[in-house]
A and B are shown apart, each in its own frame.
Chain A
């Protein structure tokens, strides 16, 4: 029990308001947060894996199915017209959210992974040849590694990896050096690392690539719930993210692509909805964005994503970012009080995420013990095994935050980590 007496003082700031946000009201919009886990209030800190859904999103999906659901783009009846309008309305909401130039640049997929695979297969398959190079970084999620490895295997191209520092920051000089080979056909990198929390200087990285004529794909899965992004300001060629990480339902992803690139690319999958005319001799493909949306999509879920973006925009990403930054600073200070705890990833520009190891305790044991305290975190390699290898650890524990998290919840995390130490000492 000696360890417990070393508990840091609890927060003195009121926990219910942060960065101008009314957290009590925000939390009330998430029905799932009201429950207890093993008799303790749920403290959900696994938001980088998937975030919980506000009632506005749950209701939007329910209203679609109970009010106006039908297949889209083909019916002459009223329900189909209403579903189509709602579905295409969601596309406009995504366009506005990303500040893309046109709705034709917004492709709905299943998730970020499928968005990246679409580019690897369609763009990569038609542009990349033997001896060409694809540049990624050392902090990529498996979903931005494996599609390129598959492409390289198919074409004889070579994957080049830009390294990062111990603090978790990309070494820009190395990235630039890789771009200089003259053989690079695409640079693909993560905006916000799910394993480290690092926010990469994507605008600069895009400029460096474009200066050498290299197009860029940005994996924005972790970034969009935390940072405002602007496609026209970034000038990136492709940007991918998932609905389920931005308060929307699972089963929907987005691929933004510049219109000229998308128009030149062959279809990814063939089927219904992506054609203009089919005969057994030849098929004419539909115009953008339908060319890349073969088959019936996740209609209600796309509409749910639209509701999520409305919800998040109404709160305001600047307020979200300010609140989460406060949480990050508080969490970092509190975690550093725990002897033997080592935070992995201390980039100067970092999102509200703390990946850590605790001396003598495997992350899985931390995860199990925290769960019994009601605290949900992720333990494992976070689908970023090369990052684990970079630091020489098999796994880390990771607490990741969303807009609804509070300082009280950080205190609950820290308190249960002291219990872990107590149990293992």
Chain B
């Protein structure tokens, strides 16, 4: 059980049970769907961008604890951030969930997902919401897939 606690940390279980920013943004400027064809998980992300800054961000959908918590934590991390920072944060986050790197400062709570690196089949769950946000900002209309 101890190594499972590394993956399913309290923060993750909490965000899974009570996802933050879990709603539709009616006034969103950007929206995209993310699909993981492997498991059929599907989430929608909504962004309200003004003057290059993410004023509001929300998501909806059904997924596993890792994808739900990751989406929830991502919305908290990105709210108020300049759009220009998304790529940088995504790259740092992707490194944390796929490599044995030291967690860089500035990732904050997102680093609780570091345990995913020991579960290669679950990396796509952790990055699904991020792929959707990047697609939304690139204004893709088709759902993006993790495959």
Fill in one digit per residue for A349-362: 1 if any B CB lies within 8 Å of its CB, else 0.
00000000000111
Q: Smallest Cβ distance from B58 to chain A, in angstroms?
A: 20
A381: contacting residue among B40, B62, B64, CB under 8 A: B40
The answer to whether A394 and B119 touch across the interface, beta carbons within 8 angstroms, is no
A364: contacting residue among B1, B13, B64, CB under 8 A: B64
B7: interface (CB < 8 Å): yes
The answer to whether A394 and B41 touch across the interface, beta carbons within 8 angstroms, is yes
The answer to whether B42 and A364 touch across the interface, beta carbons within 8 angstroms, is no
The answer to whether B39 and A381 touch across the interface, beta carbons within 8 angstroms, is yes
The answer to whether A361 and B65 touch across the interface, beta carbons within 8 angstroms, is yes
Interface size class on chain B is 20 to 34
Between A and B, how many residue pairs show CB distances below 8 Å? 55
The answer to whether A365 and B65 touch across the interface, beta carbons within 8 angstroms, is yes
The answer to whether B7 and A394 touch across the interface, beta carbons within 8 angstroms, is no
B63: contacting residue among A362, A368, A380, A385, CB under 8 A: A362
B3: interface (CB < 8 Å): yes
In the bound complex, how far is the Cα of B62 from the Cα of A395, in angstroms?
Answer: 10
The answer to whether B122 and A364 touch across the interface, beta carbons within 8 angstroms, is yes
B97: interface (CB < 8 Å): no
* Residues from 341 to 385 in A contacting B, C-beta threshold 8 Å: 360-365, 368-369, 372, 379-381, 385
The answer to whether A380 and B64 touch across the interface, beta carbons within 8 angstroms, is no
Smallest CB gap from B39: residue in A: A380
Q: Smallest Cβ distance from A22 to chain B, in angstroms?
A: 35
* Residues from 12 to 46 in B contacting A, C-beta threshold 8 Å: 13, 17, 38-42
Name the A residues within 8 Å of B40 (CB-CB).
380-381, 385, 388, 394-395
Name the A residues within 8 Å of B68 (CB-CB).
362
A38, A360, A362: most-surrounded residue (chain B CB, <10 A): A362
A423: contacting residue among B4, B41, B125, CB under 8 A: B4
Given A423-B4, A424-B13, CB of A365 within 8 Å of CB of B39:
no
B66: interface (CB < 8 Å): yes
In the bound complex, how far is the Cα of B40 from the Cα of A389, in angstroms?
Answer: 11
Q: Smallest Cβ distance from B21 to chain A, in angstroms?
A: 19
In the bound complex, how far is the Cα of B93 from the Cα of A378, in angstroms?
Answer: 28
A210: interface (CB < 8 Å): no
Name the A residues within 8 Å of B42 (CB-CB).
394
Q: Smallest Cβ distance from B14 to chain A, in angstroms?
A: 11
B59: interface (CB < 8 Å): no
B8: interface (CB < 8 Å): yes
In the bound complex, how far is the Cα of B65 from the Cα of A423, in angstroms?
Answer: 12
The answer to whether B125 and A364 touch across the interface, beta carbons within 8 angstroms, is yes
Smallest CB gap from A38: residue in B: B3
In the bound complex, how far is the Cα of B125 from the Cα of A353, in angstroms?
Answer: 26
Name the A residues within 8 Å of B64 (CB-CB).
362-365
Smallest CB gap from B3: residue in A: A372
A364, A419, A423: most-surrounded residue (chain B CB, <10 A): A364
Name the B residues within 8 Å of A360 (CB-CB).
17
The answer to whether B7 and A368 touch across the interface, beta carbons within 8 angstroms, is yes
* A–B complex contacts, Cβ < 8 Å, 8 sampled: A364-B64, A365-B66, A368-B119, A372-B4, A381-B40, A394-B42, A395-B40, A423-B5
Given A362-B65, A395-B41, A419-B1, 4 additional A-B pairs, CB 8 A: A363-B39, A368-B7, A380-B38, A423-B1
**Smallest CB-CB A-B distances: 4 pairs:** A362-B64, A364-B64, A381-B40, A365-B65
